[in-house]
Structure 1
Amino acid sequence: MRTLTLIALTALLAVVVARAGPGRDKAERKPGAAAGRKRVDPDAMTDAEGEEFEKVRDMNLTDEQFEDYEKETEESGGAREKRQDVSIGNGCEVIGTVVHEIMHALGVFHFQSRYDRDSYVSIEMTYVTADRQNNFVKYTSTQTVNYTPYEYGSTMHYSANSFVSQSGAISIWPSDQDYVFTMGNRIVSFYDIKLVNSHYACTCASGATCVNGGERNPKNCAQCLCPMGYGGTTCSTRPAGCGSALTATTAWQTTLIQAGVDSQTLRNDFTLCTSWVSAPAGKTLQFNITGNFTTQCQYGCPFNGLEIKNKADLKAASPRHCCSNTFNKVISSTNNPTPLIAYNRYYITQFQVTYRYV
């Protein structure tokens, strides 16, 4: 079991926010809404405390070093709240799981607990034992605040088969069933980051002009935080790294998109590979996943998958694919270009995709 301080965890989240490539939301707690869980009050942080946070983050202290630092600060008259520990169990170090727990410490509920969840998911308790049904509680609008649209791809969302007692059973059905394998994914979404930035008033009054759903980065307002699939200073370019720029025609063409590294060690973070497919203005792109290599089919697509960014909300995750159930079906998109995003944290995954425009 690993225990990290709230300052260390918040620093980690700050790093995630700065990286921001993979960008679901959640219901956020209003002050006092959940007894026993400590909240951070952004309005209570003084300039001096903000400077201290920056200093401590850059020191990269171990827990023992932080305890010594905290003691010295208190003995020298420094005023600060006590730390809040978050425990990360062995085997749970994947970055999305760590951020999931950080977000709980920052006051965020699970996504499927939002008061508007019934418009987006159906909860099925038939195969969930009574002692586990508390995990599906729905909060009210007086208890929580929704800062973003509903996000199936949030790292705060449970998977479709969470807490079921029978193999093959489902506990959460998405209204848009294209998302059945997306829920429970542990890629940090754009809306995850936006949610925290909104709640803690981390915004920019002016700065970069962002496109493709991007928003100004509170750490550098001259640059944009980009949804997954977009990159560059203003989110106007394909993310750096593997992938290619493809041009569709009226005839089906085939591309092979690959992500991962040649090692059979499970990694704590994802490698991404993004291709863009373009068409003439006003045309609809069509895609079909016709082949795959070393995908692990599982709800949440936690090890690898392919996202074809076909939904209108570019900030949100589009459905992710890692199971044959969603292969060999035509997927349409009016996003031009449409990003194809392969992700992986175990070995190497390949997807064969055909594409054209109509």
Structure 2
Amino acid sequence: MSAIKADWIDQFEKKTPQTNENYGITYDFGSIMHYGGTSASFNKKPTMVPSDPMHQETLGSAFVSFYDLLVLNNHYKCFDKCKGNAKAAKCEMGGVPHPRDCSKCLCPGGYGGQFCDKRPSGCGDVLKATKEYTDLSKTIGDPNMKEKEDFEICYYWIESPPNTQIEVRIDKISGNYAVDGCKYFGVEIKSQKDQKASGYRFCAYEDEDVTLLSHSNRVPVMIYSREGQTEVTIQYRYGEVP
């Protein structure tokens, strides 16, 4: 608490189920409502450190997370529109029938298609991992691109054979502004078990050599920018599950 600005102290008050309704939805480090790790700091030292240290740069996101959408739709009872609808979509990867069109799904980040079983359309590809490192290099944005509201995003799926584990290593990352939440550019790697949650976000050159291991044989990777130019190179391979 020693690094927190005096006028931010009340933001760290602990809540209870009686004072904070989350509709049974789990905590998401990538929620757009989450402060950055140094947002409340008067000396730039972290005032919030996630229980999973790899999520430090995820805090302070500019993206509306899938769990944010679940909270909002539960609060306003939007999901009731599809309850009991025999034609409601059967969604994969934790997706839910979309309240505006029950035949389609509202999908977690990194997933798309009618039933959340496809890579989102547009820039990106489905990549097949081998036992040797393969490079994925992508330059996105433009050096003269001014900050804009929407992101340019490329969606990749890295896949491997059943019963294997994917290793992803950040080889190079560069851009204009490395800040809390990687709000301007970065790479998001969804190697965690809960694919509904936000993935790990990185945007600083200090992240080079960071290595993540997957919990399944698919890892969605999103490379994005909304200001300037971003260059990212990651390496990936698979191994047997221990």
TM superposition score normalised by structure 1? 0.63
* 1:258–1:273 CA contact under 8 A, matched in 2: no
Paired with 2:215 and 2:16, the residues of 1 have a C-alpha distance of: 36
What is the root-mean-square deviation of aligned Cα atoms in Å?
A: 1.4
Paired with 2:222 and 2:142, the residues of 1 have a C-alpha distance of: 16
2:200 to 311, 314, 319: 319
* 2:174–2:205 CA contact under 8 A, matched in 1: no
Gaps of 5+ in 1: 1-124
Equivalent position amino acid for 2:5 in 1: T
TM superposition score normalised by structure 2? 0.92
For the pair shown, the structure with the greater C-alpha radius of gyration is 1
More helix by share: 1
Aligned to 1:152: 29
2:65 to 189, 204, 214: 189
Aligned to 1:210: 91
* 1:239–1:274 CA contact under 8 A, matched in 2: yes
* 1:255–1:352 CA contact under 8 A, matched in 2: yes
Equivalent position amino acid for 1:179 in 2: H
- Superposed CA deviations along residues 15-36 of structure 1, whole A, max 9, x for unmatched, are xxxxxxxxxxxxxxxxxxxxxx
* 1:260–1:272 CA contact under 8 A, matched in 2: no
Q: Does 1:274 align with 2:155?
A: yes
Aligned to 1:227: 108
* 1:275-354 pair list within 5 angstroms: 275-354=156-235
| Structure 2 counterpart SS, 1:277 | strand
1:239 to 101, 104, 120: 120
Q: 1:259 to 1:226 in 2, by over 3 A?
A: farther
* CA deviation after TM superposition for structure 1 residue 330, in Å: 1.9
Equivalent position amino acid for 1:193 in 2: L
* 2:182–2:202 CA contact under 8 A, matched in 1: yes
* 1:283–1:334 CA contact under 8 A, matched in 2: no
More strand by share: 2
* 1:36-75 pair list within 5 angstroms: none
Q: 1:166 to 1:328 in 2, by over 3 A?
A: same
* 1:311–1:318 CA contact under 8 A, matched in 2: yes
- Figure out how many residues of one structure are paired with residues of the other and give that number: 233
Q: 1:329 to 1:129 in 2, by over 3 A?
A: closer
Aligned to 2:39: 162
- Superposed CA deviations along residues 25-74 of structure 1, whole A, max 9, x for unmatched, are xxxxxxxxxxxxxxxxxxxxxxxxxxxxxxxxxxxxxxxxxxxxxxxxxx
* 1:56-95 pair list within 5 angstroms: none
| Structure 2 counterpart SS, 1:300 | helix
Equivalent position amino acid for 1:192 in 2: D
Aligned to 2:145: 264
* CA deviation after TM superposition for structure 1 residue 349, in Å: 1.0
Gaps of 5+ in 2: none
* 2:176–2:228 CA contact under 8 A, matched in 1: no
* CA deviation after TM superposition for structure 1 residue 262, in Å: 5.7
* 2:174–2:204 CA contact under 8 A, matched in 1: no
Aligned to 2:48: 172
* 1:248–1:355 CA contact under 8 A, matched in 2: yes
Paired with 2:163 and 2:218, the residues of 1 have a C-alpha distance of: 11
* 2:185–2:226 CA contact under 8 A, matched in 1: yes
Aligned to 1:107: none
Aligned to 1:143: 19
Structure possessing the higher relative contact order (Cα contacts under 8 Å, 6 or more residues apart)? 2
Paired with 1:268 and 1:309, the residues of 2 have a C-alpha distance of: 23
